[in-house]
């Protein structure tokens, strides 16, 4: 059966893959996280993804993850949906993180494909179903084979869509054909997880995006989708292309998005702090370049940024 309408966005439309701010000493900065989250919501985000890849989930403790959710919930109240990353390579651990996220105040969970062990598709499906069965929260699947080593194959995605709590996908598959196949055959709400795909995926029926670049320019990312929704596809295209230099510098220049995002936010005087090892901070030249590109984007489209 082919789906012919865009599913309602279960977690909002413009989501930011928020960094996890740390103090200069490297500890969790819940106050800074609250301030950053409030800014993101005020400037166009109606959802926040916490404890994801950009949020340095591999190097934060379970207790820090729960504390971050609670701090952000206190800061934004019900103004934004909170989706908590709970992925790990261990199904039991993932289930535990999902239950803790629910208790801490999350509205949904982001569950990545188990990594390193490279499970076959039957095991991938069993992992997601176990998490979906364990808590009352809706689930966003996270398909990012470049990091995990394993796809969620389109046929597996279609099968998982039958579960009532599996409602969305953060798509970093770089398989546009496979994505369209799932969009056509399910009610899953797709979210572009790669900033260069925000407009393209939205145009074929995605619910929105989970943007890393949105940490710095949330209003601009939101404006791309606003323009498309208003029927001004030319303006949406213009805004997407205007953002491309910053997107490339933050996401495609050889450094993890966490590193470039924290470097730029620090230059903007926003809560960020250091990255945790094994990541290393961006150099001064990189940070200077990011700030220059940010300034150009703000100057070119002041109303959107």
Residues identified as active-site: 142, 170
C-alpha 128/C-alpha 149 separation (Å) is 16
For the chain, the maximum distance between any two Cα atoms, rounded to a whole number of angstroms, is 54
The total of other beta-carbon atoms located within 10 Å of residue 253's CB is: 12
- Element containing residue 191 per DSSP (H, E): strand 189-192
Q: 């109606």: which residue's tokens?
A: 46
Distance of CA 300 to the CA centre of its chain: 26
- Upper half-sphere CA count for residue 117 (Cβ side, 13 Å): 12
Contacts of 52 (CB under 8 A, 6+ apart): 17, 18, 85, 110, 142, 210
Q: How far is CA 30 from CA 22, 23, 89, 132, in A?
A: 8, 9, 26, 28
Structure token digits, residue 146:
């470049």
Structure token digits, residue 30:
């819940």
Q: 203-206 — which CB contacts under 8 Å span 24+ positions?
A: 203/228, 203/233, 204/179, 204/180, 205/6, 206/6, 206/171
Q: 């208790």: which residue's tokens?
A: 103
The region, left, alpha or beta by phi > 0 then psi within -120 to 50, assigned to residue 263 is alpha
């Amino acid at each position: 059966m082919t789906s012919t309408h865009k599913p309602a966005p279960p977690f909002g439309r413009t989501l930011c893959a928020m960094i996890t701010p740390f103090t200069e000493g490297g500890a969790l900065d819940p106050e800074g996280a609250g301030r950053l989250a409030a800014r993101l919501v005020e400037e166009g985000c109606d959802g926040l993804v916490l404890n994801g890849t950009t949020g340095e989930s591999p190097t934060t403790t379970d207790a820090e993850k729960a504390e971050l959710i609670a701090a952000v919930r206190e800061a934004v109240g019900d103004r934004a949906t909170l989706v908590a990353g709970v992925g790990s390579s261990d199904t039991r651990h993932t289930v535990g993180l999902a239950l803790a996220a629910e208790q801490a105040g999350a509205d949904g969970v982001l569950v990545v494909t188990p990594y390193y062990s490279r499970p076959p598709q039957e095991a991938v499906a069993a992992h997601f179903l176990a998490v979906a069965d364990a808590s009352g929260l809706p689930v966003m699947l996270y398909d990012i084979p470049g990091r995990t080593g394993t796809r969620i194959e389109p046929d597996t995605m279609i099968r998982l869509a039958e579960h009532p709590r599996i409602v969305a996908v953060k798509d970093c598959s770089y398989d546009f054909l496979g994505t369209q196949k799932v969009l056509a055959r399910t009610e899953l709400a797709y979210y572009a997880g790669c900033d260069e795909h925000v407009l393209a995926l939205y145009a074929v029926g995605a619910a929105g995006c989970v943007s890393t670049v949105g940490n710095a320019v949330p209003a601009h990312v939101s404006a791309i989708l606003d323009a498309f929704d208003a029927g001004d596809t030319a303006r949406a295209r213009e805004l997407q292309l205007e953002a491309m230099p910053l997107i490339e510098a933050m996401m495609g220049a050889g450094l993890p998005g966490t590193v470039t995002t924290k470097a730029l936010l620090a230059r903007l005087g926003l809560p960020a702090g250091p990255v945790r090892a094994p990541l290393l901070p961006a150099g001064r030249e990189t940070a200077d370049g990011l700030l220059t590109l940010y300034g150009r984007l703000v100057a070119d489209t002041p109303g959107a940024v």
